[in-house]
């Protein structure tokens, strides 16, 4: 009996440090969403999406974002124009900077991203970019998107990533997939791995142009309409990040990180 | 003898349209719809005209979900009866002129179309500012 108690105590000790380590370890994926200032149920608002991946993970291959049921782009005015890019630019990912790659009325969101240039495990340089999310030509039979990243360091260049909107799993409003393809010829030959991004979709300073009585007129497009009601637990957004193959363990299957972000209900 | 021949010809003349009127019929439609009512952000009611094999006025009640799914009912009121269709479409782009396509299934009818069954496909464009819709549809039905 005493022996059993001793074994149990030893096992508990052996397990305890692992639990403590888990509690202290940062989550592999951090994700948060915030509604715009003064957001109200039944009215349109912006969404600020923040996502960060734990350093040292294999490079991100794809990011999927799901909005809660009832929050989608059905009656939004975002993406009134369509951005078209040459197929070669999509394939090569990294291109010379084009100052006007897409029509202004196709712009849906802006933000910033940080990435790592991984020369080797000991030599990693940070990179930074400004992000623009555009409505784009269809991808297969789905409404398309482009994320254009204008890098500011370590080199000025333009990265073009393709995405699309699609019907999400049950319980969600709209699915957005962004394919983060590896750069075929990366800067200095170092693979680039996305570290984090902040993207504001439908921000208050977004301006479109339309013709009124023959004259161009600037206006703020209706961003993302919120439903008239909100679940008691708040709005649940989800991020799913698919990582590429780990160069250290190339036989291991690619990892998928999933996490939810709960946004408290705004006032009616 | 001549009288007999006339009777045969007359019966053939009557029989021919009857044979053509039953069985499989292909249809090709162009539909133009204007928004007449909007409930909330996702329920749209349209009214307009169909020109093509079946001509008549058209009413539709569509619900949009997930930004890209359009489901609802469409009724074509022709001179010789009404056709009710269930439609299931998907948006293919989200620009001001959003392309969509989908399938339509006959879900009932009156007059000439009572008991008819059929399916079809459609593709069109919706203006996201005015929700004006134009579409082209093809299909076939039996009765």
Q: B18: helix, coil or strand?
A: helix
Using the 8-state DSSP alphabet, how is residue B128 labeled?
T
- All residues of chain A having their beta carbon less than 8 Å from the beta carbon of residue B93 are 82, 135, 137-138, 143-144
**Does residue B129 belong to the interface with chain A, where contact is any CB pair within 8 Å?**
yes
ipTM: 0.76
Is omega for the bond preceding A154 within 30 degrees of 0, making it cis?
Answer: yes
Alpha-carbon span A254 to A239, nearest angstrom: 16
| Domain B21-142 -> CATH class | mainly beta
Tens of pLDDT, residue by residue, chain B (143 residues):
445 544 444 443 433 333 345 688 999 999 999 999 998 878 999 999 999 999 999 999 999 999 899 999 999 999 999 999 999 999 999 889 999 999 999 998 999 999 999 999 999 999 998 999 999 999 999 88
Across the interface, whether the CB atoms of B67 and A73 are under 8 A apart is answered: yes
The residue among A34, A54, A63, A76 whose CA lies nearest residue A237 is: A34
The residue among B59, B11, B2 whose CA lies nearest residue B35 is: B59
Q: How confident is the model at residue A87 (pLDDT cuts 50, 70, 90)?
A: very high
Instruction: Find, in chain B, the residue whose alpha carbon is nearest to that of A66.
Output: B66
Tally the C-alpha atoms within 13 A of residue B75's C-alpha that lie toward its C-beta.
10
**B64, B93, B97, B130: which to substitute to probe chain A, counting the most A Cβ within 10 Å?**
B93
Q: How far is B107 from chain A (nearest CA, A)?
A: 25
Question: Shortest CB distance from B66 goes to which of A81, A137, A167?
Answer: A167
**Interfacial B residues in 2-61 facing A (CB < 8 Å):** 40-42
């Amino acid at each position: 009996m005493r022996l059993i108690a001793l074994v149990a105590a030893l096992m508990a000790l052996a397990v305890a440090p692992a639990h403590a380590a888990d509690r202290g370890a940062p989550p592999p994926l951090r994700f948060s969403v915030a509604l715009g200032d003064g957001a109200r149920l039944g009215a349109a608002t912006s969404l600020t999406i923040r996502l960060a991946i734990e350093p040292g993970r294999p490079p991100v291959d794809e990011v999927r974002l799901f909005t809660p049921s009832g929050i989608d782009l059905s009656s939004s005015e975002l993406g009134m124009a369509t951005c078209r890019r040459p197929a070669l630019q999509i394939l090569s990912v990294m291109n010379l900077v084009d100052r006007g790659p897409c029509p202004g009325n196709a712009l849906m969101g802006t933000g910033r991203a940080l990435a790592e240039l991984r020369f080797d495990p000991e030599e990693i340089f940070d990179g930074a970019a400004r992000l623009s999310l555009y409505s784009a030509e269809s991808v297969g039979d789905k409404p398309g998107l482009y994320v254009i990243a204008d890098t500011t360091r370590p080199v000025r260049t333009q990265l073009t990533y393709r995405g699309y909107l699609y019907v999400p799993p049950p319980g969600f409003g709209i699915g957005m997939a962004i394919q983060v393809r590896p750069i075929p010829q990366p800067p200095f030959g170092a693979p680039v791995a996305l570290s984090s991004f902040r993207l504001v979709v439908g921000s208050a300073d977004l301006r479109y142009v339309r013709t009124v009585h023959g004259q161009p007129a600037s206006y703020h497009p209706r961003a993302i309409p919120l439903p008239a009601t909100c679940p008691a637990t708040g709005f649940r957004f989800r991020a799913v990040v698919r990582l590429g193959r780990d160069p250290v363990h190339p036989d291991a299957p690619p990892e998928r990180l999933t996490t939810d972000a709960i946004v408290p209900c705004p006032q009616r | 003898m001549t009288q007999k021949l006339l009777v045969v010809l007359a019966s053939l003349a009557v029989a021919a349209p009857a044979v053509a009127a039953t069985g499989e019929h292909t249809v090709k439609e162009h539909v133009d719809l204007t928004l007449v009512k909007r409930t909330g952000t996702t329920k749209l009611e349209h009214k307009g005209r169909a020109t093509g094999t079946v001509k008549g006025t058209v009413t539709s009640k569509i619900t949009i979900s997930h930004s890209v799914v359009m489901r609802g009912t469409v009724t074509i009121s022709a001179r010789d009866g009404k056709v009710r269709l269930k439609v299931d479409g998907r948006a293919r782009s989200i620009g001001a002129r959003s392309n969509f396509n989908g399938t339509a299934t006959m879900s009932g009818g009156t007059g000439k179309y009572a008991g008819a069954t059929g399916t079809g496909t459609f593709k069109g464009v919706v203006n996201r500012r005015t929700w004006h819709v134009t579409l082209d549809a093809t299909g076939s039905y039996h009765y």
